[in-house]
């Protein structure tokens, strides 16, 4: 029979404590306003890399629960109608009109080195934007957006 020997603790030494990493806090300061014209009430519009393409005029909408892609962008990404899956729930546009979606498609959005898969609902209606990213994208990325500062911030490796 063997006996395991435990190390003897030196009573004069300080107890060892688990090292805690301080959580990273994402926030905005007045320095983040540099480069913006103040005061303003502009929407937060960004350029995102969707399916390998840099897509301009993407609205970041914290108040929306779904990501939207407008038909012009869908066609511009060389996607075909057969790439869509069914999406049966009607949507309400900014003008209050009911919009019937063409379908839904899952596409990657690359932000820096991070890639998030997003379910876009494709609609055929006019918009000054090419797409709208909403809370699901922000949450998946762990991002915080600020219309005042015209920025989106998130933690990332490197």
Q: What's the total number of domains in the chain?
A: 1
Q: In this predicted structure, what is the pLDDT of residue 26?
A: 82
- Residue 46 within any structural domain of the chain: yes
What would the two tokens of residue 53 be? 């393409």
- Residue 32 within any structural domain of the chain: no
User: With 60 as the cut, is the pLDDT of residue 4 above it?
Assistant: no
Strand partners, 120: 67, 105
pTM of the model: 0.79
Written as one string, the DSSP assignment of 74-106 is HHHTT--GGG-B-----EE-TTS-EE---EEEE
Tell me what the pLDDT averaged over the chain comes to: 85
- Residue 110 within any structural domain of the chain: yes
Identify the CATH number of the domain in which residue 122 sits. 2.40.70.10
60-115 pLDDT, tens per residue? Answer: 999 899 999 999 999 999 999 999 999 989 988 878 889 999 999 999 999 888 89
- Residue 1 within any structural domain of the chain: no
Q: From CA 108, how far away is CA 110, in angstroms rounded?
A: 6
- Residue 18 within any structural domain of the chain: no
- Residue 25 within any structural domain of the chain: no
Domain around 62 = 38-152
- Residue 14 within any structural domain of the chain: no
Q: Tell me the pLDDT band of 5, cut-offs 50, 70 and 90.
A: very low
User: With 80 as the cut, is the pLDDT of residue 9 above it?
Assistant: no
Burial class (CB in 10 A: 0-12, 13-18, 19+), 16: exposed
- Residue 18's Cβ-side half-sphere holds a number of Cα atoms within 13 Å equal to 3
From its phi and psi, is residue 52 left (phi > 0), alpha (psi between -120 and 50) or beta? left
Written as one string, the DSSP assignment of 2-19 is --PPPPPPPTTSPPP-PP
- Residue 138 within any structural domain of the chain: yes
């Amino acid at each position: 029979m063997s006996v395991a020997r435990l190390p003897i603790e030196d009573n004069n030494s300080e107890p060892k404590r688990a090292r805690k990493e301080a959580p990273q806090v994402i926030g905005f300061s007045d320095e983040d306003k540099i480069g913006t014209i103040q005061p303003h009430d502009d929407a937060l519009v960004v350029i995102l890399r969707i399916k390998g393409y840099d897509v301009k005029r993407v609205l970041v909408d914290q108040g929306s629960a779904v990501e939207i892609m407008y038909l012009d962008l869908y066609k511009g990404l060389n996607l075909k109608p057969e790439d869509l899956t069914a999406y049966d729930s009607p949507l309400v546009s900014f003008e209050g009109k009911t919009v019937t979606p063409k379908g839904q498609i899952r596409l990657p959005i690359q932000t820096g080195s991070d890639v998030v898969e997003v379910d876009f609902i494709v609609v055929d209606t006019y918009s000054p934007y090419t797409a709208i990213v909403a809370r699901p994208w922000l949450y998946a990325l762990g991002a915080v957006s600020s219309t005042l500062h015209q920025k989106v911030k998130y933690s990332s490796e490197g």
